[in-house]
Structure 1
Amino acid sequence: MPVRYLIVDDEEPGRINLRLALADYPDWQLVAECDGNAAARAALARHDVDVIFLDVQMPGETGLVLARELACLCEPPLIVFVTAFSAHAVDAFEVHALDYLLKPLDDTRLAHAVERAAAMLRQRQREAYGAALRDYAVAGAAPYPERIGVRSVGRIEQVVVDEILWMEAAGNYVELHLPARTVLHRITLNRLEALLDPARFLRVHRGAIVRRDQIASLATGGEGSHRLALRCGGVVPVSGSYLAALKAAMAF
């Protein structure tokens, strides 16, 4: 069955470029091209749509307005944002398991987005995606997310931020350490840190962030190294550049 998709962009060159790029995927079928949210709503009323490529910055209503409307649906179409937004805004898309493309389009990044969307559709993840999208809509009015949509291959899992005891970098992934298991999330530690409440989480190393209420004791090793013991039993290295902030946190 073909993947039915919709392009929403107020600029015609943007629509044309995306349509031509997606022509390389024979299983993907264009339903309509829309120059704004009003046309997109009309197209969605007439057609079944699996994936929407949605421009963020449009005059009048932004693409985020339509995304939040779609969040009310039980099984909304998958949304791939097309954006020239800042890195922080892109972080917000990632942490809620939404996909995005930066302008100008990159063929490799588009291929990844197409593959990810197709995998989610094959595994019937529309309902889980709907939950992630609702989290994103709620987070628009809150400074920090309460849940994270963790992506694996074609799947989404909701992780409550308050259940994360500590986290460590693993290349372009982050290992989220929960009370009974560890979850691998495809995001960098720097990007995730930007969205965490600093009153609840503290970076102690370039590769580690801990929940403040997990801080137990600090030990000094050979050659001036430091290691932080956590209440959950974990042990995390501490680098010198974060030592003062850690000691200040332990003083309270």
Structure 2
Amino acid sequence: MIFEAIIVDDEAPARVELINQLARTGRVTVVDEAVCLQEGVAKMQSKRIDVAFIDHNIAGAGTQLLPQALREMDYTPALIYMTAYTDVMDEPFGVRPLAYLTKPVDNSKLDDVVALLDRVYARKVEVDY
């Protein structure tokens, strides 16, 4: 399966780097990008995607925006949070992610996340947020 993804990150260089790394896997196609959580949520509501890579410290993120949007959507994307801080693995948006990636993203860790996505989607497990 080729996973369709959105990247939600306010730093353009970080988005470009992750797009290139995901392309390298041959398993994930980035179909959209957003520079803030509000924009990312709106795009997830209008387009069905498999996985959202969301910057943990995205500017202007409301803690209730993501959980409310996920409850209202007719599908549930996998959420991967990205952070530059190795000691920060909390739930900034009130929703537990499937996985965390530390920036800069290590290719082997990204491969592990893609393998995890394979397992989740192979079992057709619905992630309950």
**TM-score, with length taken from structure 2:** 0.81
Instruction: Give the conservation status (yes or no) of the 8 Å contact 1:7–1:34.
Output: yes
Q: Give the whole-Å Cα distance in 2 for the aligned partners of 1:105 and 1:30.
A: 16
Distance 1:65 1:110, change over 3 A: farther
Instruction: Give the conservation status (yes or no) of the 8 Å contact 1:67–1:79.
Output: no
Which of the pair is proportionally richer in strand?
A: 1
Shift of residue 54, structure 1, vs aligned partner? 0.5
Task: Name 2:105's counterpart in structure 1.
Answer: 105
* Equivalence map 1:1-252=2 (5 Å): 1-61=1-61, 65-72=64-71, 73=73, 75-85=75-85, 87=87, 89-90=88-89, 98-126=98-126, 129-130=127-128, 133=129
Q: Give the whole-Å Cα distance in 2 for the aligned partners of 1:66 and 1:118.
A: 27
Residue 76 of structure 2 aligns to which amino acid in structure 1?
Answer: P
Unaligned 5+ segments in structure 2 are none
> What is the Cα-based RMSD across aligned positions, in Å?
2.4
**TM-score, with length taken from structure 1:** 0.44
Distance 1:42 1:91, change over 3 A: closer
* Percent of aligned pairs sharing the same letter: 26
- 3-state secondary structure, aligned to 2:24: coil
Greater relative contact order: 1 or 2 (C-alpha under 8 angstroms, separation 6 or more)?
2
Instruction: Give the conservation status (yes or no) of the 8 Å contact 2:55–2:81.
Output: yes
Name which one, 1 or 2, has greater alpha-carbon Rg.
1
Can you list the C-alpha shifts for 1:187-234, whole angstroms capped at 9, x where unaligned?
A: xxxxxxxxxxxxxxxxxxxxxxxxxxxxxxxxxxxxxxxxxxxxxxxx
Aligned length: 125
Unaligned 5+ segments in structure 1 are 134-252
